Homo-oligomer: A and B are copies of this chain.
Amino acid sequence: MEPAPNQRPADSTRLQHIMREVSELLRKQHLVEQLLDRTDTPRHALEQQVLHRQHLSELERKLSRLHPADIAHILEALPLEERLTVWDLVRADLDGEILLEVSDAVRESLIARMDQAELQAAAAQLDADELADLAADLPRDVLQSVLDAMDAQNRARLQAALSYPEDTVGALMDYAPVTIREDISLDVVYRYLRRIGELPDHTDKLFVTNRHGQLTGILLLRRLVAEDPARRVSEVMARDVVTFSPGDPAEEAAQAFERYDLVSAPVVDERRHVLGRLTIDVVVDYLQELRNAEMLGRAGLREDEDLFAGVGPSVRNRWPWLAVNLVTALIASRVIGLFEGTIERLVALAALMPIVAGIGGNTGNQTSALIIRALALDQLNDNNTHRLIRKEIRVALLNGLVWGSVVGAVAYGLYGNPALGVVMSAAMLLNLLLAALAGMLIPLAMHRLRRDPALGSSVLLTATTDSGGFFIFLGLASVFLQ
């Protein structure tokens, strides 16, 4: 939404300033509440209540001047109790918009606070495609009564939007395409547009159809305004159009938006009838969420976590990963356990073994980061993969020789045992080779299995380089240092 007058958007410094003011008002109001609880004289209580109301109305006034996206930002940065105080003060006609803007976790906390009437009012402010984004979080009876209140066309749209899988174009598209016929003059187009009134957000082009209603081209607004109104649509429209099907993967569509610098694009069925449109703002939000989920997922968080979630939900969010990690750590530990006799005879091995494992893990991660990025950018194919493998093996060999010599020399320097230095060097070289192989093959295998290589790769990789590193180092030591 383009900010409307009276909702002057805030830059980050201003936003921080507002955030501070809001916090300050909330703090004062909290103090007053505490005083109220303790006050026993009625006059004092009355004074405090007046003050309390003043603070709240000042806060309400400040909020009323903010863009919904900014209010969403403030709500996300507030601890639960204060978040709900602010939420109660927000203009009711922005509720729907704000619920769309906040993160999933925060949205749940807000919806839990609203009664059925408020939820219905908020839902009524939204288009079918927007409502579809909220539907999963709405209580069943609210959703039902919203559905009942809709006209047939919107109900059908909402049901269609809900029927598309989450990561498809269908789930992201809206139902606000403006279509015109190819056989009319631009003058007629203008008359039509003036009858519609202001066009939907992100309308940079009109979709042109033939008399069978099939998409035949697009007319850019920036072309339209610069053309002679006497010309026909078919003369000035562009015929090569990027179109999507509702079943297309959303990520692929997002890549096309990035690659071809699109602002909006038609979504069509197999007969090229226009079903809806995809717009850049939705694509940007989608990419943002995707990358966010990937970043958190890579660090071992199952899903997005409300910054101020309770301890219970936070802990549950983190356990699956820790459980996996415990298993891999135990395996590594058992590998070491195999060589306890060797370590007992030469305890320096215990001090040196984490170096071999650790540097292996790091080089492996460097390799896998490159591979994961290349997979995400769709740059790998059978033809170039084997070249890449050869290159990474060479890099690992060179790294292994250089860093192996360094750590070998350090081991020799520390313990004065030349054989130990040689074993250390050899183990480094071998573990770096293992790391390079694992760093390539694990993401490639996950990609083949149609799993996101960014998510599980690093656990598997570290498990390999840890257990592998301990096994190689202690194994070599048990053979050559007895």
- Residues of A at the B interface (CB closer than 8 Å) are 1-9, 11-12, 15-16, 19-20, 23, 27, 67, 69-70, 73, 76-79, 190, 193-194, 196-204, 220-228, 238-240, 242, 248, 252, 255-263, 280-281, 284-285, 288, 291-292, 295-296, 298-301, 305, 307-309, 311, 314-315, 318, 321-322, 325-326, 328-330, 332-334, 336-337, 340, 343-344, 347-355, 357-359, 362-363, 365-366, 368-370, 372-374, 377-381, 383-384, 387-388, 391, 394-395, 398-399, 403, 406-407, 410, 414, 466, 470
Could you tell me if B240 and A261 are in contact, using CB atoms closer than 8 angstroms? no
Task: Look across to chain B and name the residue whose beta carbon is closest to the beta carbon of A201.
Answer: B261
Could you tell me if A381 and B329 are in contact, using CB atoms closer than 8 angstroms? no
Q: Which residues of B contact A252 (CB under 8 A)?
A: 11-12
Could you tell me if B1 and A261 are in contact, using CB atoms closer than 8 angstroms? yes
In the complex, A333 Cα to B414 Cα: how many Å? 11
Could you tell me if B333 and A351 are in contact, using CB atoms closer than 8 angstroms? yes
Could you tell me if B414 and A3 are in contact, using CB atoms closer than 8 angstroms? no
Q: Which residues of B contact A403 (CB under 8 A)?
A: 322, 326
Task: Look across to chain B and name the residue whose beta carbon is closest to the beta carbon of A393.
Answer: B311
In the complex, A295 Cα to B454 Cα: how many Å? 10
Q: Which residues of B contact A384 (CB under 8 A)?
A: 23, 77-79, 307-308
A241 to chain B, nearest CB (A): 8
Q: Which residues of B contact A336 (CB under 8 A)?
A: 350-351, 354
Please tell me how many copies of the chain the complex holds.
Answer: 2
Q: Which residues of B contact A204 (CB under 8 A)?
A: 202, 204, 221-222, 263
Among the listed B12, B296, B330, which residue makes an inter-chain contact with A373, where contact means beta carbons less than 8 Å apart? B296
Interface of chain A, helix or strand or loop or mixed? helix
Q: Which residues of B contact A373 (CB under 8 A)?
A: 292, 295-296
Could you tell me if B381 and A355 are in contact, using CB atoms closer than 8 angstroms? no
Could you tell me if B355 and A261 are in contact, using CB atoms closer than 8 angstroms? no
Task: Look across to chain B and name the residue whose beta carbon is closest to the beta carbon of A328.
Answer: B358
Q: Which residues of B contact A224 (CB under 8 A)?
A: 225
A266 to chain B, nearest CB (A): 13
Q: Which residues of B contact A394 (CB under 8 A)?
A: 311
Q: Which residues of B contact A328 (CB under 8 A)?
A: 358
Q: Which residues of B contact A311 (CB under 8 A)?
A: 391, 394-395, 398
Could you tell me if A240 and B381 are in contact, using CB atoms closer than 8 angstroms? no
Closest 9 CB pairs of A and B: A299-B369, A199-B222, A261-B281, A350-B350, A336-B351, A77-B379, A23-B383, A329-B355, A69-B259
Among the listed B1, B261, B325, which residue makes an inter-chain contact with A358, where contact means beta carbons less than 8 Å apart? B325
